[in-house]
Amino acid sequence: MTRKIFYSLFGSLQRISVLILTILNLNLAIVIYDNVTLPKLAGLEFMSSDKHPEFTFIEAVSKTSSHRHKRQVIAGTIYEWSSRNIPFQIWGGDFNFQNLIRRGIRMWEESTCLRFRENMQAQDGIRYVLVKGDSCFTEYLGRNGGFQDIIIGSECAEGYVIAHETGHALGFWHTHQRPDRKNHISINWRNVLVKATTSFMPFRSMLQVFGIRQISNRRPPYDYGSLMHYNAVAHAMINDIYCTHVCAGFPPLPCQSGGYPDPNNCNVCRCPEGLGGLHCTQLQLSNCGGELVAGDRWATLRSPTGRNVHCYWRITAPFGSRVRFRLTDGEFPCSYGCQSYVEIKHKVDFRLTGFRSCCYRPKEDTVSEGPQILVIYHPNDRAARFTLRYIRQP
């Protein structure tokens, strides 16, 4: 079965439509529904523990057209920030809101060499502005000079939203608007609300409409699970842009499987999730999980008990073989981006997010691209479980 993502746009005439990303193993569909009942989808079975999705806002189209038309979807060098230290200000909000902004910023600092410095006297930087409502958006993409606003509506103020919009200010456009998106997803335009069309506009149309003067020639692999879609690939690109000289003078590290020298500690490799060790060749340490071998008979992997466990398994097939697997059972809360989930990395490039199952699970078997798969289990303090069957595929 083709691995694609499931986009949901929900809303009403009184509400701005919102982009939801849930990583699943199915052909792409875009569905708009006015209630929280999960639709029935061919080839998939419900996996939610309550059948009621707990979706929150990730990005809304601004109700102020002048703001949106200022926005440019770019990533060329002329829009890069001049320093790894980026000034920012926070306007409005109480103590909790300001800490929320800092948590979203920290998601970038933990994985890159960028540092965001709060500076109320700076004349050039990012300004996070709290407003009432459900619109969250960035004034510009990339640095455009002077202070540029990131508008955070009170109804969509979440840490991952802050990280997402900050990614725009760093120069990233949406992954699903890449020029090669037709190779990875399809869009049902009949189900896209008029106010959301700019979030799905094809790449070349964006260049014309927004007058883009320069784009980057960097072409990372398509990552369905990235923050914009964004994840490890976006962090790696930021490090490639801003952090190339941070580890100069340190002994070179032979990082494997897409790992690279950690700009926050040049003596270790930053590994894709699920991998660890000195050079990213070992399984990431956890209080559960382990190494498993796919043989000629079906074997079963069941999730451990507990809500606060974080588990990693690596299932390896003998040389020249692959791994066939199937999620035969599961129960997770259905929420934006699968906040409680089992993730299976089945592609050769372990940097890429695997498909995450929470709302649904595929009925059909899946076969890995290479001889290994990584199974990642994060219940994240929720009641959850899964059962995975696997076997060697000659």
Q: What is the CATH number for 313?
A: 2.60.120.290
Q: Is 270 left (phi over 0), alpha (psi -120 to 50) or beta?
A: beta
User: 233 and 338 share a domain?
Assistant: no
The dihedral built from the CA positions of residue 206, 109, 102 and 107, taken in this order, carries a sign that is positive
The amino acid at 111: S
Cα–Cα dist 286/304, whole Å: 12
Number of structural domains found in the chain: 2
Are 297 and 370 in contact by the 8 Å Cβ rule? The answer is: no
Mean pLDDT (whole number) for 186-202: 73
User: 210 and 312 share a domain?
Assistant: no
Among 27-31, 257-261, 266-270, which is the least confidently predicted range? 27-31
106 pLDDT more than 90: yes
User: 229 and 83 share a domain?
Assistant: yes
385 pLDDT more than 90: yes
User: 240 and 293 share a domain?
Assistant: no
- Residues belonging to the binding site for Zn(2+) are 164, 168, 174
**Which H helix or E strand runs over 166?**
helix 159-169
Q: Is 165 a residue of the active site?
A: yes
User: 296 and 239 share a domain?
Assistant: no
**pLDDT score, position 183:** 81
Active-site pick, 139, 158, 165, 273: 165
User: 294 and 167 share a domain?
Assistant: no
Cα–Cα dist 7/188, whole Å: 10
Structural domain containing residue 327: 289-393
Work out the number of other CB atoms within 10 angstroms of the CB of residue 250: 11
**pLDDT score, position 29:** 33
289 pLDDT more than 90: yes
Residue 51 pairs in a beta bridge with none
The amino acid at 139: E
- Residues belonging to the binding site are 164, 168, 174
**pLDDT score, position 89:** 94
28 pLDDT more than 50: no
Confidence band (pLDDT; 50, 70, 90) for 242?
Answer: confident
User: 143 and 240 share a domain?
Assistant: yes
pTM exceeds cut of 0.85: no
Confidence band (pLDDT; 50, 70, 90) for 210?
Answer: low
User: 69 and 183 share a domain?
Assistant: yes
Among 182-191, 194-203, 267-276, 292-301, which is the least confidently predicted range? 194-203
- Residue 361, domain member (yes or no): yes
Confidence band (pLDDT; 50, 70, 90) for 240?
Answer: confident
